[in-house]
């Protein structure tokens, strides 16, 4: 267990250092979601009252699309110089690699969300009517729901032709309940009309089920030869 | 065994023709379905919609079982069964999704609603289409493992989809079998005959597709062997090092 976390943390530190120096994933995600925000606000141009009902959907769709940009780059980096093959033959547990990649993506997507949320607030004149502190667990659970399966399916689509297209095709159908949970939880807190309790439980269940499944199957996908 | 397939094909065709007549009551023989009192003839689509849905779930369940068996045993037969049931399941699921709105438009007044059964079926269809896309886009030796893992992920997803949409109100009619609804015994009889016919039809297509899949694999193996050994079965010089060495030289 100890070696699992020490290897995971070492890989995570390496990924963060690489990202800090190149800022490839973060910059492309930021610019991409900025474009989505601007295009959405042109296309809908809502009043403040209406925007409360739709912005939960817009914000998560923007993050979902942007996350795919980062997720696609997760494993591509390891293909250069056969790094992934070195991982495969090394005695390090496969799950350490998976946890490091998933946590890394979680950090990158969370950073994106922290930077983009103020823009949404400004462009759509948002004022939260429900209990705002509940947005924090929604963001954490929702982001993890996106990245845990995203990291897994990105590893899966490594072995396919045109892998950049493959990832959303695999990820989006499976993510439907999670997206529904995030969007409805956010909307019910923004409007203050309903409780987000059910959706939080749904997101938590989704996270637990799929984190377990990903950890159970990742070794199989990594070593599938 | 070679004769079994054409015999079964003929029997299935006869059963399908009989079931079609019973459902649409083209020729009035005993046991044809009566016309529904309020919906009229539109209701007859029920004899295709419901059996297709049952067959879809049967096929996807077989797909899941075959995928799990493949993950445990690495049995190529299980993988071939998974390919076949996945493909045929998507076809039947498409029939369900197409016949549903055709019925819903005159009866409910709308083509589609985000109801729990409709949405779960749609998501199931999406998951299995992505399953087929994965199968199509990755043509390496690892494809069966990846596809089987995806099938398990899809199965984990379905209950979550169901509960998340169940939280909204539901509009679909309650199940007529085992639920609160009631049904004329003659209609039930026709429904069960249609289900039998559809299951046989699905099995027939799966059987035929399975034979094709096995042939495809045999051809692939033969080609791989030929590229390894050369056309006359003589080891090609480049592949010589891969041949097992006699015991004394290892």
Q: What is the pLDDT of residues B140-190, one digit of tens each?
A: 778 888 899 999 999 888 888 888 777 755 556 666 555 555 677 778 888
**B contacts of A173 (beta carbons < 8 Å):** 123, 126-127, 129-130, 154, 157
**A contacts of B122 (beta carbons < 8 Å):** none
Interface contact A156-B150, CB threshold 8 A: yes
As a whole number of angstroms, the distance between CA A173 and CA B119 comes to 12
Closest CA to B187 of B59, B46, B57: B46
Which residues are CB-neighbours of B168 under 8 A, at least 6 positions away?
Answer: B114, B115, B116
Interface contact A220-B123, CB threshold 8 A: no
Structural domain spans, chain A:
2-222
As a whole number of angstroms, the distance between CA A172 and CA A169 comes to 6
State which residues of chain A have pLDDT below 70. 1, 46, 48, 225
CB-CB contact of A181 with A206 (8 Å)? yes
Interface contact A202-B164, CB threshold 8 A: yes
Interface test with A, best of B164, B167, B169 (most A CBs within 10 A): B164
Asked if the C-beta of B142 comes within 8 angstroms of chain A's C-beta atoms, the answer is: yes
Closest CA to B137 of A80, A72, A165: A165
Across the A:B interface, residue pairs with CB atoms under 8 Å apart total 81
pLDDT value, residue B171 = 55
Element spanning A222, H or E:
helix A197-222
Q: How far is A158 from chain B (nearest CA, A)?
A: 9
Nearest-Cα residue of chain B relative to residue A156: B146
pLDDT digit string, tens, across residues A119-133: 888 888 778 787 888
- pTM (2 d.p.): 0.84
As a whole number of angstroms, the distance between CA B25 and CA B190 comes to 10
Asked if the C-beta of B136 comes within 8 angstroms of chain A's C-beta atoms, the answer is: no
CB-CB contact of A72 with A32 (8 Å)? no
pLDDT digit string, tens, across residues B40-90: 777 888 888 889 999 999 999 999 999 999 999 888 899 999 999 999 999
ipTM exceeds 0.90: no
The 3-state DSSP class for residue A210 equals helix
Asked if the C-beta of B126 comes within 8 angstroms of chain A's C-beta atoms, the answer is: yes
CB-CB contact of A155 with A75 (8 Å)? yes
Interface contact A166-B133, CB threshold 8 A: yes
Q: In the numeric block, which tokens belong to residue A45?
A: 């141009």
**B contacts of A180 (beta carbons < 8 Å):** 164-165
Determine the Cα angle at B8 with ends B2 and B11, to 5°. Answer: 150
Interface contact A221-B149, CB threshold 8 A: yes
Name all contacts of B18-25 with Cβ < 8 Å and 24+ positions apart.
B18/B193, B18/B197, B19/B47, B19/B190, B19/B193, B19/B194, B19/B196, B19/B197, B19/B198, B22/B47, B22/B189, B22/B190, B22/B193, B22/B194, B23/B47, B23/B48, B23/B190, B23/B194
Which of A170, A172, A202 has its CB closest to that of B160? A202
């Amino acid at each position: 267990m100890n070696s699992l976390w020490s290897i995971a943390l070492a890989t995570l530190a390496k990924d963060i250092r690489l990202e800090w120096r190149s800022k490839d994933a973060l910059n492309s995600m930021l610019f991409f979601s900025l474009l989505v925000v601007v295009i959405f606000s042109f296309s809908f141009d809502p009043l403040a009252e209406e925007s409360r009902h739709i912005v939960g959907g817009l914000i998560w769709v923007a993050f979902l699309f942007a996350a795919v940009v980062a997720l696609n780059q997760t494993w591509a980096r390891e293909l250069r110089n056969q790094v992934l093959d070195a991982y495969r033959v090394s005695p390090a547990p496969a799950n350490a690699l998976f946890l490091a990649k998933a946590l890394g993506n979680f950090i990158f997507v969370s950073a994106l969300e922290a930077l983009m949320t103020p823009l949404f607030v400004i462009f759509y004149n948002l004022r939260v009517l429900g209990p705002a502190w509940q947005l924090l667990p929604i963001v954490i659970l929702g982001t993890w729901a996106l990245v845990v399966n995203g990291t897994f399916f990105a590893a899966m689509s490594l072995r396919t032709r045109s892998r950049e297209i493959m990832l959303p095709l695999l990820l989006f159908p499976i993510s439907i309940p999670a997206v529904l949970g995030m969007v409805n939880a956010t909307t019910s807190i923004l409007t203050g009309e309903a409780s987000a309790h059910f959706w939080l439980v749904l997101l938590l269940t989704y996270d637990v089920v799929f984190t377990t499944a990903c950890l159970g199957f990742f070794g199989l996908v990594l070593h599938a030869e | 065994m070679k004769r079994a397939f054409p015999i079964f094909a003929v029997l299935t065709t006869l059963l399908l023709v009989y079931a079609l007549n019973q459902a649409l009551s083209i020729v009035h023989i005993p046991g044809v379905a009566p016309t529904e009192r309020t919906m009229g003839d539109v209701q007859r689509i029920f004899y295709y919609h419901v059996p297709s849905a049952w067959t879809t779930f049967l096929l996807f369940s077989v797909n899941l079982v075959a995928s799990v068996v493949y993950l445990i045993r690495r049995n190529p037969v299980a993988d071939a069964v998974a390919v076949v049931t996945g493909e045929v399941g998507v076809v039947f699921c498409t029939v369900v999704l197409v016949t549903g709105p055709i019925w819903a438009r005159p009866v409910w007044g709308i083509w589609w609603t985000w109801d729990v059964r409709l949405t779960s079926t749609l998501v199931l269809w999406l998951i299995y289409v992505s399953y087929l896309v994965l199968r199509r886009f990755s043509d390496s030796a690892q494809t069966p493992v990846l596809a089987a893992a995806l099938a398990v992920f899809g199965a984990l997803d379905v209950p979550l989809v169901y509960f998340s949409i169940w939280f909204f109100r539901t509009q679909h009619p309650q199940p007529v079998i085992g639920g609160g609804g009631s049904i004329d015994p003659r209609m039930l009889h026709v429904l069960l005959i249609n289900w039998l016919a559809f299951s046989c039809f699905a099995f027939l297509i799966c059987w035929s597709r399975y034979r094709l899949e096995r042939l495809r694999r045999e051809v692939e193996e033969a080609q791989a062997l030929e590229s390894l050994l050369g056309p006359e079965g003589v080891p090609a010089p480049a592949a010589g090092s891969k041949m097992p060495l006699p015991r004394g030289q290892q």
